[in-house]
Amino acid sequence: MSSLPILVLNSGSSSIKFSVYEAGDGERTKLFEGAVDGIGTDLGKLWIKDATGKKLVDETPAVPTRAVAFKMVADALHSGDFPIPAAIGHRTVCGGPTITENQRITPELIDEIESYSALAPLHTPIAVFIMREALKLFPGVPNFAVLDTYFHRTLPEVAKQMPIPAEYVAMGVRRYGYHGISYESIIHQLEPNVPEKLIVAHLGNGASISAIRNGKCLDTSMALTPTSGIISGSRTGDIDPGIVIFILKKIAETTPNALEAADKLETVVSKKSGLLGVSELSNDMRDLRDAINAGNAKARLAVDKFTWTIARWIGSYVAELNGLDMLVFTGGIGENDIAARAEICAGLGALGIVVDPTRNNVRGEAVISADNSPVKVRVIPPAEDLIIVNHVVRLLG
Ligand code: ADP
């Protein structure tokens, strides 16, 4: 295959991130990356920088809507200053129960993914909007959906199945698992020496953890939605369903319309809880560390809750894997929060996890376990865009 420019799109609630790779036979070279930030505001930002970090575009336009934001991306890529993409890969959080394979995007596929929006309500509506815009603004260019759920397709039935009545299972309610592209990228970076028994903790604004045997996902903390699993920036993680019912009934006292009440409940559990809810300060770990240094007890409790939950999850995954060869930290917190890694691992010596404090005093790629630690502990930044490019190249044939 001759070299082709591949565009990777990753859209969030207030930004569209993108990168372009040159992909040839086994060769992957990042050409540039960029983003439109501040969607829905007059204080937007469009930037593009090359692989060395040099800014090629740096503008501060108003970005009233997501459509305007994506048009800015398309216009920049058609300006003549950059190669026009030969194919586009879309990070796609959830394909629902029927779309389990990465594949070429057609209008019918978008409709099918959209029909399961209720399963990932914060992500799917944005993803399908961008897919439709991309088909319009890049006519003739093949688009591919690369799923975060794809890595978790190997989950055993006992992990997938939810203990609820069959009628809801038939509607697609089960464990899907998320952050799958990040997990794939960790496996990719470990190849060809992927340990048999591996735990990867992806700790970012959203946080999840997976037990992986011989490179295949055995269990993962997120279930139907990215709100589940371990506590994260503004999401509860797993909590007693009775708490959700209690909050819903409180909301219903002033919001009798059931759908409106459900929307308010969703805001509570996914945008106002987690580190933000407990600290009453911030969902951002850097703010919480500053507050802890200033003696803020609620910030301390929020971070303790976070590290305590993760340590418990690691313990249960060691049981599921019947041992452990390697623990990997990734994501913004996993890569950068030295104290979080130390706090999570502090009580895990009995599981063979011993972190060396000097080696742990690092941000980014490193082995941080002590020489006498039976379990190797590593920090590996994810390379999600590269994995999306690899899937696109494979699907292009
Ligand atoms: P997302 O899930 O949005 O991709 P990231 O993986 O970028 O998020 O992670 C964001 C989290 O990483 C935030 O909580 C942020 O505070 C944290 N983080 C980033 N840098 C540091 C740092 N130097 N120390 C502690 N936490 C950090």
Does 251 lie in the same domain as 359?
A: yes
Q: What is the mean pLDDT of residues 13-39?
A: 94
What is the reported pTM? 0.95
Does 367 lie in the same domain as 236?
A: yes
On whether residue 332 sits in a domain, the answer given is yes
Q: What is the best residue among 123, 209, 286 to mutate for testing ligand 1's pocket, by most ligand atoms within 8 Å of CB?
A: 286
Does 314 lie in the same domain as 199?
A: yes
Q: What is the best residue among 93, 205, 341 to mutate for testing ligand 1's pocket, by most ligand atoms within 8 Å of CB?
A: 205
Give distance in angstroms: CA of 206 to centre of ligand 1: 9
Tokens of 199: 């735990």
Which is the closest atom of ligand 1 to the Cα of 363? 23
Which is the closest atom of ligand 1 to the Cα of 283? 14
Give distance in angstroms: CA of 372 to centre of ligand 1: 30
What's the rounded Cα separation, in Å, for the pair 69 and 352?
49
Give distance in angstroms: CA of 148 to centre of ligand 1: 19
**Using CA positions, which residue lies closest to atom 7 of ligand 1?**
332
Q: What is the best residue among 285, 338, 363 to mutate for testing ligand 1's pocket, by most ligand atoms within 8 Å of CB?
A: 285
On whether residue 298 sits in a domain, the answer given is yes
Please name the residue that has the structure tokens 């055993």: 156
Give distance in angstroms: CA of 29 to centre of ligand 1: 26
CB 206 within 8 A of CB 229: no
CB 199 within 8 A of CB 186: no
On whether residue 365 sits in a domain, the answer given is yes
Does 270 lie in the same domain as 132?
A: no
Q: For the purposes of burial, counting CB atoms within 10 Å of the CB of 156, is it exposed (0-12), middle (13-18) or buried (19 or more)?
A: exposed
The number of domains in the chain is 2
On whether residue 43 sits in a domain, the answer given is yes
Judge whether residue 54 has pLDDT over 70. Answer: yes
> Which of 116, 147, 178 is where one domain is finished?
147
On whether residue 206 sits in a domain, the answer given is yes
Which is the closest atom of ligand 1 to the Cα of 289? 25
Does 356 lie in the same domain as 237?
A: yes
> What mean pLDDT value characterizes the chain?
96
On whether residue 99 sits in a domain, the answer given is yes
Tokens of 196: 């048999």
Judge whether residue 99 has pLDDT over 90. Answer: yes
Tokens of 365: 């790629």
**With pLDDT > 70 as the criterion, what percentage of the chain qualifies?**
100
**With pLDDT > 90 as the criterion, what percentage of the chain qualifies?**
93
What's the rounded Cα separation, in Å, for the pair 180 and 93?
9
Does 233 lie in the same domain as 334?
A: yes
**First CA to last CA distance, the chain:** 9
Q: What angle do CA 191, 192, 196 make, to 5 degrees?
A: 85
On whether residue 157 sits in a domain, the answer given is no
- Give the domain range for residue 9: 4-147
pLDDT, one tens digit per residue, over 215-257 is 999 999 999 999 999 999 999 999 999 999 999 999 999 999 9
DSSP labels for 83-108?
PPPSEEEEEES--TTT--S-EE--HH
Judge whether residue 13 has pLDDT over 90. Answer: no
What's the rounded Cα separation, in Å, for the pair 324 and 214?
12
Give distance in angstroms: CA of 332 to centre of ligand 1: 3
CATH number at residue 110: 3.30.420.40
Ligand 1, CB within 6 Å, residue ranges? 204-206, 233, 284-286, 289, 331-333, 336-337
Judge whether residue 20 has pLDDT over 90. Answer: yes
Does 360 lie in the same domain as 215?
A: yes
Tokens of 119: 């399963």
pLDDT, one tens digit per residue, over 85-98 is 999 999 998 888 99
Give the model's pLDDT for residue 1: 62
Does 199 lie in the same domain as 106?
A: no
148 tagged catalytic: yes
Give distance in angstroms: CA of 284 to centre of ligand 1: 7
Give the model's pLDDT for residue 122: 82
Does 350 lie in the same domain as 267?
A: yes
Which is the closest atom of ligand 1 to the Cα of 287? 16
Does 139 lie in the same domain as 210?
A: no
> Which of 92, 126, 147 is where one domain is finished?
147
What single DSSP character describes residue 228? S
On whether residue 182 sits in a domain, the answer given is no
Q: What is the mean pLDDT of residues 277-299?
A: 98
Does 224 lie in the same domain as 140?
A: no
Give the model's pLDDT for residue 26: 81
pLDDT, one tens digit per residue, over 165-195 is 999 999 899 999 999 999 999 999 999 999 9
Which residue in the list 81, 111, 148, 337 is annotated as catalytic? 148
Judge whether residue 160 has pLDDT over 90. Answer: yes
Does 244 lie in the same domain as 132?
A: no
CB 44 within 8 A of CB 34: no
For 35, 318, 324, 360, 381, the CA distances from 367, given in Å and listed in that order, are: 32, 20, 16, 8, 12
